[in-house]
Structure formats: C-alpha cells, structure tokens
Amino acid sequence: MPDLFIDGTWRSALDERTREIRCPADGSLVGVVDEAGGKDTAEAVAAARRAFDTGPWPRTPAAERGDLLLRVAGLLARDRAALARAESLDTGKRLVESAYDIDDVVDCFRYFGRLVASETGRVIDTGRPDVDSRVVYEPVGVCALITPWNYPLLQTAWKVAPALAAGDTFVLKPSELTPHTAIHLVRLLAEAGLPPGVANLVLGAGPEAGAPLGDHPDVDLVSFTGGLETGRRLMAAAAGTVKRVALELGGKNPNIVFADAGFDAAVDMALTAVFLHSGQVCSAGARLLVEDALHDRFVDEVVRRAGRIRLGGPFDERAQTGPLISAAHRAKVEAYVARGLAEGAVLRCGGSRPAGPGLDEGFYYLPTVLDECTSGMSVVREESFGPVLTVERFTDEEEAVRLADDTVYGLAGAVWTGDEARAARVAGRLRLGTVWINDYHPYVPQAEWGGYKQSGSGRELGPAGLAEYRETKHIWRNTAPAPQGWFD
Ligand code: NAD
C-alpha cells in the first residue's frame, strides 16, 4: 500500500522514489516507504488549502472536533501494541518505552479533545448598552507539522492533536528515519471520520520534502520540532510570508545537585536523566552540575552504575537502553567525546562502542561520563544528543545558577536539594521552560512545554499549546449605529 496521503487518497511519490527503513538495533529491514519530493509536498499543501478554504473541518463546532479527537484516542489505545512495536523497530528504542510513549500519545489526544470542547470564546462587558463585544477563536489555516525521530509519534501527537482541535488543516512531514507510526496515525484519523484533505502526509528527506513547506505562500503556520540549525533555517524561510512559527529545538540541560540532596534518588535520576533512550531526548540532563563537597562521592557512584548499564535491542527484556538512531549520529557523538577529551575533560567510563553478542550490527555507544568539564567546552555547550554526561563543579548557589544558564539553550533542567527555600530560589532564577525539583523528566499534558532562549519559540501542550494553532478575533457590534458628527 502506498504511503503518502494527499487529499484523502493514499498514493506513491510522483517520481516513484522509495526509501528503506532499517532498525538501528541490528540493521534489519523494517520496510520500504514512498519518498516524497517537492512536487508531492506542493500537492499536499494545495489539498490542505482547499480543505481549509472550502471544506467542513474549520467550520465544524469545536465540541464535534473534540469528539473526533476522543475517537482517535480510542483507536490509538486499541492499536497500542502494534504502534509500540512499529515505533521500536524504527527507533531501536526498548519496547516498554515505546509502549509508554503510545500511552502518552493517547493522553495527548484526550487532553486536547476535552480542552477544545471547554475553551470557548468570551463576551466582553464594555459597559455600553449599544455594543456587543466578543472574542472568538478561529483556526490559523494550513499548518506544516515537521517532526523528529527521537519520539516520533509523541512529537507528532503534540502537533496533530491541537491543530485538529483548533480546526486547522495540515501537511505532516515526519522524520525520514521513523515514518511508520505517522502512517498508522493518519490511517486512524481517516478511520475516525476526518474529512479528506484535512490531514496530509508526506514522507521524505528534510531538504526535499520538508523545506518547500517553510516558504510556501499557502502555509500559514510552521510547527517544527528538531535541531537548532534546521529551526533557524525554517524561521528564516517563513519570514518572507510572515508565517506563525512555533519551534521546539534542542537543549543542553543542567541537572544541579547540591550536597544536601537525597543521595540515592539524586544518583538514580542523574543516570535516568541522561541515559534514557541513550541520551536522545531533548530534555536529557546531559550536564551534571555537582557541588564541590559532594563531587567525588557522587560522581564515583554515577560512574559505577553507568558502567553496568545493559545495552540491547528493542525486544531484549534485559536491556536498559538501546542504540543511537544511525551511523551518522553515532559518529557525531564520537566526535563530541573526542573533542571534549582534547579540551581537557577526563574520561571516567564509556567513550567507545560496546562489544558483545548482538551489538555489532547496531549503532550502540557506551554510556559515557566526562568529568572535570568546564562550560566553555564544546561537549558542554552543544547538544551531542547521545549517552554522554559532562560533569562540572560549583561551590555555591550563585555559581550553580550562573553555570546552568551559561548556554544558548533553555529547555529544561533540575535542581536537587533538601533545602526547600533554596529549591524555590534556584527554580525561580533558572532561564528554563521546565524546572524539576528533586525529580527529572516527568511532564503532564496540562502543563506547557517549550524552551527559553534558543531552545525554541512557542509552546506545546497546555492551553498555550492549543493557542499556538488558533487566531483570536475580536468582534465588535454596534447595535444602535448613529452618526458621530466628527467631520461635519
Ligand atoms: P532535524 O532538525 O535534523 O530534523 C527534524 C525534522 O526536520 C525532520 O523531519 C527532518 O527531515 C526535517 N528537516 C531537516 N531539514 C529540513 C529543512 N531544511 N526544511 C524542513 N525540514 C527539514 O532534527 P532531528 O535530528 O530529527 O531531531 C533531533 C533534534 O530534535 C534534537 O536537537 C532535539 O533536541 C530536538 N528535539 C526537541 C524537542 C523539544 O521538545 N524541544 C523534542 C524532541 C526533539
């Protein structure tokens, strides 16, 4: 069955190109999918434009759109096992993690389904009997939704659910490396009764299938999750037609541990913060900032436990984390580690590829700890997006905050301390979109997600996540028009 979905029809790429998708855990062939080019993307935009301008979806009452989202949530829950398996094959991620991701996808559709039904416009009391004034929400229009490979369906859900809730139409361009769950989702949208042309799917490489969305005059909004450089390029491309641009970019996230932190939980979560999904998490706690007095004991324990982490493929139940997404990505991580060592970091564990049965065919890299780092090193400043923890020391609260904020990024981070007042002070000062206190990684769909500084522009999830996909219009009605006489 062909894999591009345009104007309610599944079809192949116009030039009949295809791409092999291989599992990063062992290189096995997962599938062959159609590969769109610029002409396919142009047709998808035209379909989304028609559906927006003349189709029923933007004019469907919000509560009915919410109902459709709830139906989609039910279908996703029905297909949970198949979706989790597909996600694991594309990403190499452990099956149990993919299953959690699918649960989060279901929650996301439910959340926006309910939110849109409850978030109505408002009437303004102007105090004047001759005037009605009200604020209404309208969809933005045609949205380009461009997503990455690390949480493929989840990042897609964070965009598709609010866009549909708001009444938009869209062209979805998932990562070329991990397309299968996006294909499945689009099938479910059709099954749930979404009208043709509202959801359009193009698969393919960024420069060919994605870039034409950035400056297309018929695209009203670009919502992008991915790397900083691609985000910059899309923002520049969108400037020509002044599109709405929502960017969710990278992070180089500080995990700050004070000497009075609960030791066991802080060590445990320092490992989870950075080694979950082999560090391929935008909010990964890849920078450990540890108070001088605790440094040796804390880092020794982190290193001891990092050295024991078991690597393996998605269906290896003993594995604790999996491979990197591609050979090219692993080479990038290796280059960051080499540069860190050249700049003076001390290798405490990892720093190489693992050996062992079943690991040679995949893109594995050992959990790595680099000690004695400073905030000027490229491995500290830039996102390696791999299982690489850098360790910096600080002596007091002031220095901890200064070091944590000494980065162009501002996505997320954590502070660990037994002192509640200090936790509140530090959390209040950090220039980050999410701060965890004595925890790492949890999120809820009710709370906004997004970055300060160059981690992005815009918010996903929460009421602001829906607001990204809506226009707000003020309608003023004069019920007793009469001449004012200003220009008599
Ligand atoms: P990427 O920027 O390489 O690609 C992301 C998407 O953009 C893919 O679909 C890709 O095909 C497309 N793309 C690439 N070039 C393009 C172009 N010129 N025009 C249009 N589209 C283009 O990022 P990636 O490697 O897939 O993902 C990893 C990055 O995503 C990391 O930096 C990570 O921090 C970030 N990320 C951020 C969040 C967040 O919530 N802030 C969440 C997940 C991932």
Distance 175 CA to ligand 1 centre (A): 8
Spatial contact of 6 and 200, defined as CB atoms under 8 Å apart: yes
Distance 224 CA to ligand 1 centre (A): 7
pLDDT tier, 200 (very low <50, low <70, confident <90, very high otherwise): very high
| pLDDT for the residue numbered 229 | 97
Q: How much of the chain exceeds pLDDT 70, in percent?
A: 100
C-alpha triplet 107, 226, 94: angle, nearest 5°: 55
Does 360 have pLDDT greater than 90?
yes
Q: How much of the chain exceeds pLDDT 90, in percent?
A: 98
User: What domains can you pick out in the chain, each with its CATH number?
Assistant: 4-249+456-475 (3.40.605.10), 254-437 (3.40.309.10)
What is the residue with the minimal CA distance to atom 26 of ligand 1? 148
Distance 264 CA to ligand 1 centre (A): 35
Distance 226 CA to ligand 1 centre (A): 2
Nearest ligand 1 atom, CA 460: 40
pLDDT tier, 408 (very low <50, low <70, confident <90, very high otherwise): very high
pLDDT tens, residue by residue, 377-403:
999 999 999 999 999 999 999 999 999
- Lowest-confidence pick of 27-41, 117-131, 255-269: 117-131
| pLDDT for the residue numbered 356 | 87
Instruction: Tell whether pTM > 0.85.
Output: yes
| pLDDT for the residue numbered 451 | 97
pLDDT tens, residue by residue, 139-150:
999 999 999 999
Mutate to test the pocket of ligand 1, among 45, 159, 225, 234 (most ligand atoms within 8 A of CB): 225
Neighbours of 49 (CB within 10 A): 21
Ligand 1 proximal residues by C-beta, below 6 Å? 146-151, 155, 173-176, 205-207, 210-211, 214, 225-227, 230, 233-234, 248-251, 282, 383, 385, 411, 451, 456
What is the residue with the minimal CA distance to atom 13 of ligand 1? 206
Does 120 have pLDDT greater than 90?
no
pLDDT tens, residue by residue, 436-446:
999 999 999 99
Distance 129 CA to ligand 1 centre (A): 52
Nearest ligand 1 atom, CA 231: 2
Does 357 have pLDDT greater than 90?
no
pLDDT tier, 247 (very low <50, low <70, confident <90, very high otherwise): very high
Does 1 have pLDDT greater than 90?
no
Nearest ligand 1 atom, CA 149: 26
pLDDT tens, residue by residue, 51-78:
999 999 999 999 999 999 999 999 999 9
**Separation between Cα atoms, residue 230 and residue 54, nearest integer Å:** 32
Residues 6 or more apart whose CB falls under 8 angstroms from that of 396 comprise none
pLDDT tens, residue by residue, 249-278:
999 999 999 999 999 999 999 999 999 999
Spatial contact of 221 and 244, defined as CB atoms under 8 Å apart: yes
pLDDT tens, residue by residue, 46-55:
999 999 999 9
Provide the annotated active-site residues.
248, 282
Mutate to test the pocket of ligand 1, among 19, 35, 90, 150 (most ligand atoms within 8 A of CB): 150
Distance 148 CA to ligand 1 centre (A): 4
| pLDDT for the residue numbered 119 | 84
- Average pLDDT (224-239) is 98
- Average pLDDT (112-139) is 95
Q: What is the mean pLDDT of the chain?
A: 97
- Average pLDDT (341-355) is 97
Nearest ligand 1 atom, CA 230: 2
- Average pLDDT (453-470) is 97
